[in-house]
Amino acid sequence: MCADVGDRTGAFDLDGALARARAASRRLAAVDRAAVLRRVAAALRRDEAPILAANAADVARARATGTPEPLVDRLALSSARLRGIADAVVAVASLPDPVGRVLEGWRLPNGLEVRAVTVPFGVIGMVYESRPNVTVDAFALAFMAGSAAVLRGSADALASNRSLVASMRAALTEADPRLADALALIDDADRGRVTELLQARGRVDLVIPRGGAGLIRHVVETARVPVIETGVGNCHLYLHDDGDPDMALAVLLDGKVRRPGVCNALETLLVHEATAAAWLPRAAAALREHGVTLHACDRSRAVLAAAGAPLDGVVPATAADWDAEYLGPEIAVRVVDGLDTAIEHVHRHGSQHSEAIVTRSRAAARRFQAEVDAAAVYVNASTRFTDGFEFGFGAEIGISTQKLHARGPMGLRSLVTVKYLVDGDGQTRG
């Protein structure tokens, strides 16, 4: 077999790239990272022609291999999209520096002074399968947080990513030749390089995967380095018996219809039995209007049938539906006998991402927020707000669905760690 290795002449030297990234990361403390990022943004605008040409080649290859048009659209850049990507780099550069913040400090009885100060991770790896803009976003965020970025994008976007990385590295070199290696693209189709990255203990400080459930699972199962799991969302909306029906309908449609392919979209609707007869037929009609298929439990189907609602687009829910992340025009629907069953359902099937209740009851709202174990728990609002920009973080590297280090939307401040500085006059413990 003769693999298509493009213009490469040998395997990518990951060990070398990580060592150079480490060395470059140590330079970052000495530079105005915001100023450098503005130069990077300018370079991306300046290099529009070669970047769009490389992207056109990726797009043509994708079409030739029969990639569905929505995925081609995710891959495709345009002059406007590239300007948007460059603008996002400028936006990151304008955020407060997350490095060097004294989080707390105190004096010990022996006179030692202790300060906890935010410091960079060092080398951050990103493994992703998204649009080419992630290549730029991930670098900009890591760099602003004082770390070098080692990126592994999808094979589909390789030409685009090479071109974007070349432009950004040129800008880094112009700013300071020793900075160029603060950005590396793992330019190698061999999946073994990903495994190497995930197991490079001591040489990469953190790896963040961004993509579908399969990618996340592979990374978590392979990694021997610290990882932050992101972005798998089986999000629920529970309508309590006293919830405002119009509000519930608005929150439901916002969560299911506007952008069903994102992780904070709704995947399951739970309805209190006391309100199901009056509300569920109306909700089903609205979902039907938007082409959403309902995977409905027996009681839900009985309620709809009793109301004379049309049952095409309504299919019986199977056990698998409660755990499904459809990411499309489908929703699981269950009638429950109350708050306890709703919370128990979320505990059993949720992915600890975002969960919402619509209720007028203070007690129900408090119990739902206290007992549901998820990154974000909403009362009378859409799960779609779980997002770094919506939360006001000014940027987002991903949404953590695990409990270590960062939970929910991760902005710049989730990309730093801490160091204790201790100052004394010869203190010993004795």
Query: From the CB of 377, what's the least distance to a copy of itself, in Å?
Result: 6
- As a whole number of angstroms, the distance between CA 123 and CA 144 comes to 13
- As a whole number of angstroms, the distance between CA 240 and CA 359 comes to 5
Tell me the three-class secondary structure of 100-118, residue by residue: CCEEEEEECCCCCEEEEEE
118 binds a copy of itself (CB under 8 A): no
Query: From the CB of 318, what's the least distance to a copy of itself, in Å?
Result: 21
Q: Which listed range, 13-21, 271-279, 308-316, 383-391, lies at the site for a copy of itself (CB under 8 A)?
A: 383-391
Q: 102 Cβ partners below 8 Å, 6+ apart?
A: 115, 116, 117
CA 110, 116, 119, 121 dihedral sign is positive
Closer CB to a copy of itself, 7 or 104, in the complex? 104
- Residue 235: what residue type? C
Q: Considering only residues 66, 70, 308, 392, which one is a binding residue for a copy of itself as defined by CB under 8 A?
A: 392
Q: 328 Cβ partners below 8 Å, 6+ apart?
A: 260, 261
121 binds a copy of itself (CB under 8 A): yes
102 binds a copy of itself (CB under 8 A): no
Read off the DSSP letter of residue 203: T
Q: 309 Cβ partners below 8 Å, 6+ apart?
A: 281, 284, 285
Q: Considering only residues 53, 112, 278, 306, which one is a binding residue for a copy of itself as defined by CB under 8 A?
A: 112
Q: Considering only residues 92, 384, 395, 411, which one is a binding residue for a copy of itself as defined by CB under 8 A?
A: 384
Binding map of a copy of itself across residues 257-286, x = CB under 8 A, - = no contact? -x----------------------------
Closer CB to a copy of itself, 112 or 305, in the complex? 112
Q: Considering only residues 408, 410, 411, 412, which one is a binding residue for a copy of itself as defined by CB under 8 A?
A: 408
- As a whole number of angstroms, the distance between CA 380 and CA 365 comes to 9
Q: Considering only residues 221, 308, 312, 320, which one is a binding residue for a copy of itself as defined by CB under 8 A?
A: 221
List Cα–Cα distances, 153 to 125, 162, 251, 386, in angstroms: 11, 10, 34, 24
Closer CB to a copy of itself, 317 or 358, in the complex? 358
Instruction: List the end-to-end C-alpha distance of the chain, in Å, as a whole number.
Output: 67
Chain positions contacting a copy of itself, by CB under 8 A:
26, 29, 106, 108, 112, 114, 119, 121-122, 201, 205-206, 220-221, 224, 226, 228, 244, 246-247, 250-251, 253-254, 258, 347, 358, 365, 369-371, 373-382, 384-386, 390-392, 402-405, 407-408, 417-430
